[in-house]
């Protein structure tokens, strides 16, 4: 996607303790790997973001956000387009982890506060209503639940390329034995190395990948049948079974909840 690379915001310091950046990211566009001199809460009000940090690939749907502490190298992309509302937060803020990234569950309150703050002038007043909203945002962040649905990424070049192949073709069904043969190693060696580098078996990793890809596709309003086929399932039934096993709800229930949250957010603003 090199031809679709987006320009980074050229800013050396924040005009206020919290700066709200708004931008629509077109489909198949990305921000290359970079760091900031401040913390960032990366959040999309629509669409799904894919955020790469050290040894992890994070899928950020509208009910989630990723916390990126100062200096955390990351790249951001979207397959189908996303509406970005990102908070840049002064490095002096210490109420969330300042060493590693976190995926957070966005509350209805914080969602409304972020949308409200996005309407402020860049140099908003540091007293009165605007500052009260910003203060409430900052005090709400450490109360958010953490989400553990990230996709761990191998560190070795060989396994990294293998996972990239699987990521680009989630519809494929490859046994561990076949993949081991492609890498010219034994099945047992591949299994041992993969667990060591990711904490998951190869098959569990592939299953998690298909689930996260399903989340991405469900946010494009495609039919469940089409999504199931795109992910390599012969029919919707095994796809629905996988999704329920991974999340506790069916794809239809997930969509209904997402649409309900989106409607409530719009009504509150």
The confidence score (pLDDT) of residue 61 equals: 87
* Stretch 99-122: mean pLDDT: 93
Look up the pTM and report it.
0.84
Average pLDDT, the chain: 90
How do 74-78 and 29-34 pair as beta strands? antiparallel
Which pair of tokens denotes residue 167?
A: 């990521």
CA distance 203 to 190: 11
Q: With cut-offs at 50, 70 and 90, classify the pLDDT of residue 262.
A: low
Residue among 71, 87, 68, 67 nearest 17 (CA):
87
Q: What percent of the chain has pLDDT over 70?
A: 96
Give the pLDDT confidence of 138-197 residue by residue, as tens digits. 999 999 999 877 788 998 999 999 999 999 999 988 899 999 999 999 999 999 999 999
Asked whether residue 125 carries a pLDDT value surpassing 90, the answer given is yes
Residue among 50, 12, 15, 14 nearest 31 (CA):
50
Give the pLDDT confidence of 25-79 residue by residue, as tens digits. 999 999 999 999 999 999 998 889 999 998 888 989 888 999 999 999 999 999 8
Asked whether residue 1 carries a pLDDT value surpassing 50, the answer given is no
Which pair of tokens denotes residue 229?
A: 């086929």
What residues form DSSP beta bridges with 76? 31, 51
Residue among 210, 221, 263, 211 nearest 81 (CA):
221
Mapping DSSP onto H, E and C, the string for the chain reads CHHHECCCCCCCCCCCCEEEEEEEECCCEEEEEECCCCEEEEEEEECCEEEEECCEEEEECCCEEEEECCCCCEEEEECCCEEEEEEEECCCCCCCCCCCCEEEECCHHHHHHHHHHCCCCCCCCCCCHHHHHHHHHHHHHHHCCEECCCEECCCCHHHHHHHHHHHHCCCCCCCHHHHHHHCCCCHHHHHHHHHHHHCCCHHHHHHHHHHHHHHHHHCCCCCHHHHHHHCCCCCHHHHHHHHHHHHCCCHHHHHHHHHHHHHHHHHCC
Asked whether residue 135 carries a pLDDT value surpassing 80, the answer given is yes
Classify residue 82 as exposed, middle or buried by CB count within 10 Å of its CB (0-12, 13-18, 19+). buried
Q: With cut-offs at 50, 70 and 90, classify the pLDDT of residue 261.
A: low
258: Cβ contacts below 8 Å, ≥ 6 apart: 61, 62, 63, 218, 219
């Amino acid at each position: 996607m090199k031809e679709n690379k987006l320009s980074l915001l050229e800013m050396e310091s924040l005009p206020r303790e919290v700066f709200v950046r708004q931008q629509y990211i077109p489909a198949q566009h990305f921000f290359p790997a970079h760091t900031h001199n401040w913390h960032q809460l990366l959040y999309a009000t629509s669409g799904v973001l894919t955020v790469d940090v050290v040894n992890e690939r994070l899928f950020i749907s509208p009910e989630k956000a990723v916390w990126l502490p100062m200096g955390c190298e990351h790249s951001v992309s979207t397959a189908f387009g996303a509406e970005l509302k990102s908070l840049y937060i002064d490095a002096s803020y210490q109420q969330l982890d300042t060493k590693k990234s976190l995926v957070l569950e966005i509350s209805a309150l914080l969602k409304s506060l972020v949308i409200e703050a996005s309407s402020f002038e860049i140099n908003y007043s540091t007293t009165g209503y605007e500052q009260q909203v910003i203060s409430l945002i900052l005090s709400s962040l450490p109360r958010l639940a953490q989400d553990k649905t990230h996709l761990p990424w191998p560190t070795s070049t060989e396994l990294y390329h293998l996972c990239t192949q699987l990521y680009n073709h989630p519809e494929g069904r490859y046994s561990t034995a076949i993949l081991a043969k492609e890498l010219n190693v034994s099945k047992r060696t591949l299994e041992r190395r993969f667990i060591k580098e990711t904490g998951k078996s190869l098959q569990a990793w592939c299953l998690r990948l298909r689930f996260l890809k399903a989340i991405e596709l469900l946010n494009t309003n495609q039919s469940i049948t089409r999504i199931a086929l795109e992910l390599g399932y012969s029919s919707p039934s095994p796809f629905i079974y996988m999704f329920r096993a991974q999340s506790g709800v069916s794809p239809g229930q997930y969509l209904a909840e997402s649409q309900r949250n989106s409607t409530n957010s719009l009504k509150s603003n």
